[in-house]
């Protein structure tokens, strides 16, 4: 059986290829949008994986360190360590801020962790170069996306930190790369006031008769000292014993310590259902709009091509061609256009994904689903043209 659609596509290959490329770029944008969503979900999973925690202990009635601000006293972890089933507990702070200076300034999530090896919760799990934090001050481990190099100095607030290690795929839920620094430095960076504010606070404290009583000279010094120390962290990351039940341990901590505890599943839910839900809906809307636009383009092109062949279609019908042969020809052309478009789109999306500032994850499953959707859209889009072709009266081929 001869393929009329294939012959027509070959005959008008230039027209089909140009239209296919245009459609393909649109499909490429659609695949990239899906890739951006997948990247956000993967970033969220990676964020949880990299924390190395089974439980996140945060301020009561908050959603934890990634979705809401949370403040805990930094000595709480000792009490948590006594709960049965807890293997390790470590303080952690998270603060998204500008790091570096001048032309090298960039946005990053500064993570304060207790110096130690990769086994401690909160530490970057895998380094690609250098070593983990071992000293209490002025060292940093940075994600490769920050552009920092081993041995380079980076300024965070007032202090300079030397990059002693590099890691990869450690990003916040917003896609910002992470910079790990010692916990004490991070606490200082998070809550540090500028010099003028410190001087004004000291003056006000000294002027307060309640703190500066004659005959009690030690009171003022004690109050001023307490004001310069920051005992807060954002969360305590808990790693459990191998056979401990996360829900049971979380329940114990909630009951005795009056804190909010999130398990891995709950934290996943917070990140995906709350933190990136709006972005996901936004992307979904884009996907719907792009699909409609693609369908409209295919429908318009196929309809125009069909109208250009009305006389030939009338002749085909007059000489006895079945309606289903004509409908098949138009539908195959639409699907052919979709296949050209999908191939161009897939190649384009793969080529431009690495230059996106945020992680774009192109999954083979999404490509397969995308291909099927493109085929369905093309089939539906061809219906308008098929309807026009089938309404052609074969008598139109006979003049008069």
Partner 1 sequence: MAEPGLGIRIQGLHKRYGTGDTAVEALKGVDLAVAPGEVVGLIGPSGSGKSTLLKCLGAVVEPTGGRMTLGSDLIYHDGWRIPDLRALRRDKIGFVFQAPYLIPFLNVTDNVALLPMLAGRPNREARAAARELLAALDVAHRAAAMPSQLSGGEQQRVAIARALINRPPVILADEPTAPLDSERALAVIRILNRMARQYATAVIVVTHDEKIIPTFQRIYQIRDGRTHEEAGLGRMLE
Residue among 127, 144, 315, 383 that touches partner 1 (CB under 8 A) = 315
Q: Does 96 bind partner 1 (CB under 8 A)?
A: no
Q: Which is nearer to partner 1, 314 or 353 (CB)?
A: 314
Q: Binding to partner 1 by residue 366, rule CB under 8 A?
A: no
What's the distance, CA 11 to chain centroid? 45
DSSP run (H or E) holding 57 = strand 55-58
4 lines the binding site for partner 1 (CB under 8 A): yes
Contact call for residue 128 and partner 1 (CB under 8 A): no
Quick check: helix, strand or coil at residue 56?
strand
Residue number, 209 or 400, with CB nearest to partner 1: 400
* Binding segment (CB under 8 A) for partner 1, from list 8-16, 49-57, 68-76, 149-157: 8-16
Q: How far apart are CA 13 and CA 16, in angstroms?
A: 5
Selected binder of partner 1 within 193, 200, 322, 387 (CB under 8 A)? 322
Q: Is residue 320 a contact point for partner 1 (CB under 8 A)?
A: yes
What six digits make up the tokens of 9?
Answer: 């596509």
Candidates 82-90, 267-275, 292-300, 390-398; binding stretch for partner 1 (CB under 8 A): 390-398
Binding to partner 1 by residue 337, rule CB under 8 A?
no
Provide the token pair at 367.
């490509």
Residue nearer to partner 1 on the CB measure, 368 or 395? 395
The tokens of 22 are what? Answer: 């245009």
Token match 């896609």: residue?
A: 175
102 binds partner 1 (CB under 8 A): no
Binding mask 269-288 for partner 1 (x = CB under 8 A): --------------------
Q: Which is nearer to partner 1, 86 or 335 (CB)?
A: 335
DSSP string, 142-187: EEGGG---TT-EEEETTEEEEEEEEESS-B-TTSPBEEEEEHHHHH
Tokens of 308: 């250009």
Among candidates 79, 22, 89, which has minimal Cα distance to 54? 89
**Residue count (the chain):** 400
CA dist 41 and 397 (Å) reads: 58
Q: What is the three-class DSSP state of 65?
A: coil
Is 393 a binding residue for partner 1 by CB under 8 A? The answer is: yes
Counting contacts by CB under 8 A, is residue 215 touching partner 1?
Answer: no
Provide the binding-site residues for partner 1, judged by CB under 8 A. Answer: 1-2, 4, 7-8, 10-12, 311-312, 315-322, 325, 393-395, 397-400
């Amino acid at each position: 059986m001869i393929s009329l659609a294939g012959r027509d596509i070959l005959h008008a290959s230039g027209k089909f290829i140009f239209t296919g490329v245009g459609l393909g770029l649109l499909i490429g944008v659609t695949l990239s949008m899906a890739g951006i969503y997948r990247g956000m979900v993967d970033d969220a999973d990676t964020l949880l994986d990299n924390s190395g925690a089974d439980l996140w202990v945060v301020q009561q009635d908050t959603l934890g360190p990634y979705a809401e601000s949370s403040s805990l006293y930094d000595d709480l972890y000792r009490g948590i360590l006594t709960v049965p089933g807890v293997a390790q507990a470590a303080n952690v702070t998270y603060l998204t801020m500008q790091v570096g200076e001048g032309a090298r300034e960039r946005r990053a999530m500064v993570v304060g962790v207790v110096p130690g090896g990769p086994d401690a919760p909160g530490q970057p799990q895998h380094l690609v170069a250098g070593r983990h934090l071992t000293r209490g001050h002025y060292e940093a481990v940075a994600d490769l996306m920050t552009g920092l190099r081993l041995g380079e100095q980076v300024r965070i607030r007032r202090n300079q930190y030397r990059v002693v290690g590099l890691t990869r795929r450690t990003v916040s839920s917003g896609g910002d790369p992470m910079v790990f620094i010692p916990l004490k430095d991070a606490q200082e960076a998070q809550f540090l006031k500028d010099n003028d504010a410190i001087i004004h606070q000291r003056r006000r404290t000294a002027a307060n008769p309640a703190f500066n009583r004659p005959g009690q000279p030690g009171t003022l010094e004690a109050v001023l000292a307490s004001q310069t120390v920051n005992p807060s962290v954002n969360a305590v990351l808990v790693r459990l014993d191998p056979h401990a039940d996360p829900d049971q341990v979380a329940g114990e901590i909630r009951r005795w310590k009056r804190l909010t505890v999130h398990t891995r599943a709950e934290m996943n839910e917070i990140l995906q259902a709350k933190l990136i839900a709006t972005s996901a809906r936004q992307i979904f809307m884009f996907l719907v709009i792009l699909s409609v636009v693609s369908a409209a383009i295919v429908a318009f092109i196929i309809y125009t091509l069909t109208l250009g062949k009305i006389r030939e279609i009338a002749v085909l019908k007059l000489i006895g061609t079945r309606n289903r042969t004509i409908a098949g020809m138009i539908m195959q052309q639409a699907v052919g256009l979709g296949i050209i478009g999908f191939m161009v789109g897939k190649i384009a999306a793969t080529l431009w994904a690495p230059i996106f500032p945020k992680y774009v994850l192109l999954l083979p499953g999404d490509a397969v689903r995308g291909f099927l959707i493109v085929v369905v859209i093309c089939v539906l889009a061809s219906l308008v043209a098929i309807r026009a072709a089938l309404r052609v009266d074969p008598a139109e081929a006979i003049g008069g």
